Amino acid sequence: MDDTWLNCPHCGLKHRPRAQGLCPRCGRTSSASRASATSIPAIPVAPSIPVARAAPARSSVSVPRASALEHVPTVEHIPPIPLEHLPTREHLPSLESAPARERTQPEAQPQADSSNTGVLQLGGGILLLNAVLHLFEFLFLPSVSTDASLRAAQLAGTLVGVGLDLLLGVSFLRGKGQLRTLALIRLVVGMFLFGGMSLYQAQYLFTLVVVAFSCGVLVLIWGKPSAFLAGVGLTAVLLGVVVELFGFHRLAETQPLADRARIALRPDLEGRRLGEDVSIVGDRHAYKLRVPSDGWYRRKAEVARVSDSHIDLWLTQPDGNAHLSVSVRDWSDSNAADLREARDEALEGLKRQYPGFQVSETSDNGTRLEDPTIATLNGGATRSGQPFLFEVSLHKAGNTLLRVTAFAPSGSFEALHLRGATLGLRAN
C-alpha cells in the first residue's frame, strides 16, 4: 500500500501519484511516471509542521490501480505559481491599511463643515449684538440729530436693521446658511445707508466703524473663510464694537443714558435733564425762570406753540406728569387795565378750557395807591379724567405781560414744589 504514495521533492508533501505528475500543493512536477515514483527517495517531513489535510476516503471495495491513476482532481488544473509571487506576511499590513486610509479620508470633510458652521454661528452672535447696539442708537438718535428728515430716515433704517439682525442672527446660530444672500443685501445696504448719512454729517469715525463692521461680518458669514480671513473679519468687528461702546460711554458722561432714552421715547422733548434751582432764560423776552424740582425737560417750541402761539417756554416733568409754561404777549393785546383784570381774563380762559374749574385762592402785591406787578390765582379742575391743581401768575414788565402757569396731578403738585413756583420768574 505504501508504494502508491509519493513524496514531492520540492515541498515534501506525501501524496498519491497524479496523471500529470504534479504536486497538489506546490504545483510542480513530483514524478514523471509510475516507474520513477518508486525511485525517488522519500523526503522526511518535520513532525513540527503538521499539514492539515482531509483524510482520503477509503472503500472496502478494491479498486483497480489503473482506474485510480486515471482520476484527475480539479486542483491539478491550477496553473503553477512561482514561490516568489506568493503573498507573504510582509504584504498584509499594506492590504489592511488601505481600508483604514479610506475610512480616515472622508472624516476630513465633516471636520471642515463643523469649522465653517462655527464661523457662521459666530457671525450670528455678532448680528444679535448688533441688534442690541441698534436699539441703543434708536434711543440716543433723536438727541444727536438735528435734521428732521434725516432723523426719520435713520430711525426707519434702524428699526428695519434690528428686525433683520434678529432674524439672521437666530438663523445663523442654529447653523442654517440659507439666508446668506439676505444677510449680504442687509450688510451692503446698511453700510451705504448709515455710512453715507454719517459721512454727510461729517462723522468720519462713525463712517469708518460702519464700513469696518459690515465688511467684517460679511467675511464671517459669506462662504468658507480661511483662518486668516476669519481673524481679520473678527478684528474689524471688535474694533467697531469697541468704538461704539466708547461713544456710549462718552454720551453717558455728558448726559445719563436713561435721560436720553426718555427724550427719545418722548419726541416732543429736547435738551438735557434740568435739576432743581436751575434757571431757564426766555427766548422772546429777557427773563429767568427757576426750575422748582428735579427731573424737568424742555418741550420743543414747535410742539409747545400748537395750543397757544404766545407760549415762549414749556417745561414738563414726565415722572409726575407736571407742566410749567411761560407765555409772552404785548400788554396792548389784552383788554385789561391792570393785572387784576388780566387775572380775571386768565380765569375765564381756564374755565373755557376746563369746564368745572374751581378757584381756591387769588392774591396780588398791589395796594390801594399802587397797581400790582404780580397777580396769582390757584384752583383745580379735571384733566384727562384726573384731578389737577393749577397755579397761574401774571407779571407785568414794561409793555409786556408774562403769564406763568403750573399744573400737575393733585398727588404730585406739592411733591414737585409747584406751589409758588410761578413766582420764581424774574423779568429783566
Report yes or no on 96 lying in a domain.
no
Reported as a pLDDT band with limits 50, 70 and 90, residue 351 is: very high
Whether residue 275 sits in one domain with residue 257: no
Report yes or no on 149 lying in a domain.
yes
pLDDT tens by residue, 2-58: 557 778 888 888 878 877 778 888 878 765 444 344 444 444 544 545 545 545 545
Domain ends where: 262, 287, 311? 262
Report yes or no on 31 lying in a domain.
yes
Whether residue 306 sits in one domain with residue 282: yes
Whether residue 205 sits in one domain with residue 298: no
Average pLDDT on 258-280 reads: 76
Report yes or no on 108 lying in a domain.
no
In terms of residue numbers, what domain contains 141?
117-262
Whether residue 78 sits in one domain with residue 132: no
Q: Provide the CA 365 distance to its chain's centre, in angstroms.
A: 64
The phi, psi pair for 374, rounded to 5°, reads -140, 130
What global pTM score does this model have? 0.50
CATH code at position 294: 3.40.1000.10
DSSP 298: E
Burial class (CB within 10 angstroms; exposed 0-12, middle 13-18, buried 19+) of 394: buried
CA atoms lying within 13 Å on the CB side of residue 322? 27
Reported as a pLDDT band with limits 50, 70 and 90, residue 122 is: confident
Whether residue 297 sits in one domain with residue 189: no
User: What pLDDT is recorded for position 262?
Assistant: 66
Whether residue 159 sits in one domain with residue 80: no
User: Regarding predicted confidence, which is higher, 135 or 324?
Assistant: 324
pLDDT at 385 over 80: yes
CA distance linking residue 366 with residue 368, whole number of Å: 7
Burial class (CB within 10 angstroms; exposed 0-12, middle 13-18, buried 19+) of 312: buried
Domain ends where: 52, 74, 89? 89
Whether residue 257 sits in one domain with residue 290: no
Report yes or no on 110 lying in a domain.
no
Lowest mean pLDDT among 31-35, 127-131, 175-179, 285-289: 31-35
Report yes or no on 99 lying in a domain.
no
Reported as a pLDDT band with limits 50, 70 and 90, residue 203 is: confident
User: Regarding predicted confidence, which is higher, 116 or 386?
Assistant: 386
pLDDT tens by residue, 210-245: 888 888 888 888 767 778 888 888 888 888 888 878
Whether residue 126 sits in one domain with residue 84: no
Q: Provide the β-strand partners of residue 401.
A: 329, 396
CA distance linking residue 376 with residue 365, whole number of Å: 9
Whether residue 411 sits in one domain with residue 281: yes
CB 359 within 8 A of CB 389: no
The structural domain count of the chain equals 3
User: What pLDDT is recorded for position 35?
Assistant: 39
Domain ends where: 262, 280, 303? 262
Average pLDDT on 74-97 reads: 48
Whether residue 393 sits in one domain with residue 248: no
User: Regarding predicted confidence, which is higher, 400 or 36?
Assistant: 400
Whether residue 77 sits in one domain with residue 28: yes
Whether residue 313 sits in one domain with residue 295: yes
For 218, the 3-state DSSP assignment is: helix
Report the chain's mean pLDDT, rounded to a whole number.
76
